[in-house]
Amino acid sequence: EAGVTQFPSHSVIEKGQTVTLRCDPISGHDNLYWYRRVMGKEIKFLLHFVKESKQDESGMPNNRFLAERTGGTYSTLKVQPAELEDSGVYFCASSQVWNTEAFFGQGTRLTVV
Amino acid sequence: EDQVTQSPEALRLQEGESSSLNCSYTVSGLRGLFWYRQDPGKGPEFLFTLYSAGEEKEKERLKATLTKKESFLHITAPKPEDSATYLCAVQATGNTGKLIFGQGTTLQVKP
């Protein structure tokens, strides 16, 4: 069974540019999460989808971040325009039921220069 | 505010030297406590879920326990391949599936 897949694995962009991260969850998992780890800090929650609906977006830092989940399958996280403080590793996770273990992708390392 | 604190930040052991990692948490209500292992350049890998005080789970050389204020991850006779960062996370009642993570404990096991 394929795990959670994230694209790209690395991205280096200039301040002010736009970047889109993609996550393909485990097939059949209705719950999809985005997390972020900035250097020296703990992994922090960004948002939670149930199918195509946003269940909780309390962790989204500001309106430069836009997450979508088309048809309840894959998800994208767009940062526009990117700022230096957006640098970090973005993780996607999915779970079958919302209160059980979530399985993580390998992460996308975003560097804004 | 819900919070998770892990200690120590780093731990170096000799192969075969058993030890414990600590995860202290403060939450309005605990729905579940999760342990993950993370290797460099990879995403967190699920190890255990604990739901209530007194519960214990085991997997190979790892054993996780839970009290009302903290969890321990006991490592018995570790091997070099157990070297990794161990992450603790809690899911609070009333929330969605959101996990609140600690900063992790980086374990190095020397042969």
Which pLDDT tens digit goes with each residue over B13-63? 999 999 999 999 999 899 999 999 999 999 999 999 999 999 999 999 999
pLDDT band at B67 (very low <50, low <70, confident <90, very high): very high
Residue A42 touches partner B, C-beta closer than 8 Å: yes
Q: Which of residues 34-63 of B touch A (CB under 8 A)?
A: 34, 36, 41-46, 49
pLDDT band for position B94 (cuts 50, 70, 90): confident
**Structure confidence by residue, pLDDT tens digits, A49-99:** 999 999 999 999 999 999 999 888 999 999 999 999 999 999 999 999 888
- Partner residue opposite A42 with nearest CB, options B45, B95, B102: B102
- Closest residue by Cα to residue B48 from B69, B75, B83, B12: B75
B95 pLDDT higher than 80: no
Q: Which of A43, A95, A105 sits opposite B97 (nearest CB)?
A: A95
Provide the residue type at B33 as one letter: L
The Cα–Cα gap between A48 and A37 comes to 16
B44, A99: Cβ pair inside 8 Å?
A: no
Strands B10-14 and B105-110: parallel
Give the span between the Cα atoms of B12 and A40, in whole angstroms. Answer: 20
pLDDT computed for residue A1 by the predictor: 64
Q: Which pLDDT score, from 0 to 100, does residue A73 have?
A: 93
pLDDT grade, residue A2 (50/70/90)? confident
pLDDT at B85 over 90: yes
DSSP notation for B52-73: STT-EEEETTEEEEE-SSEEEE
At A98 the pLDDT is 82
Q: Which is it for the CA torsion B41, B89, A47, A38, positive or negative?
A: negative
The mean per-residue pLDDT over the stretch B70-79 comes to 98
pLDDT exceeds cutoff 80 at B96: no
Q: Which residues on neighbouring strands pair with residue A11, listed in sequence order?
A: A110
**CB–CB of B95 and A105 under 8 A?**
no
Cα–Cα distance between A13 and B54 in angstroms, integer?
Answer: 48
Question: What is the average pLDDT score of chain A?
Answer: 95
| C-beta of residue A83 within 8 angstroms of C-beta of residue A112 | yes
Task: Name which of B42, B96, B101 is nearest A55 (Cβ-Cβ).
Answer: B96
Contacts of residue B32 in chain A, CB cutoff 8 Å? 99
Considering only the beta carbons, identify the residue of A43, A103, A106 that sits closest to B46: A103
Tokens of B95: 């929330």
Q: State the Cα–Cα distance between residues B103 and B91, nearest whole angstrom.
A: 15
d(CA B87, CA B63): 14
pLDDT of residue B46: 96
By the 8 A CB rule, do B100 and B34 touch?
no
Task: Give the pairing type, strands B19-26 and B70-75.
Answer: antiparallel
- With a cut of 90, say whether residue A10 has pLDDT above it: yes
pLDDT of A67:
98
Q: Is B7 on the interface with A (CB under 8 A)?
A: no
In chain B, what residues touch A32 (CB-CB under 8 Å)?
none
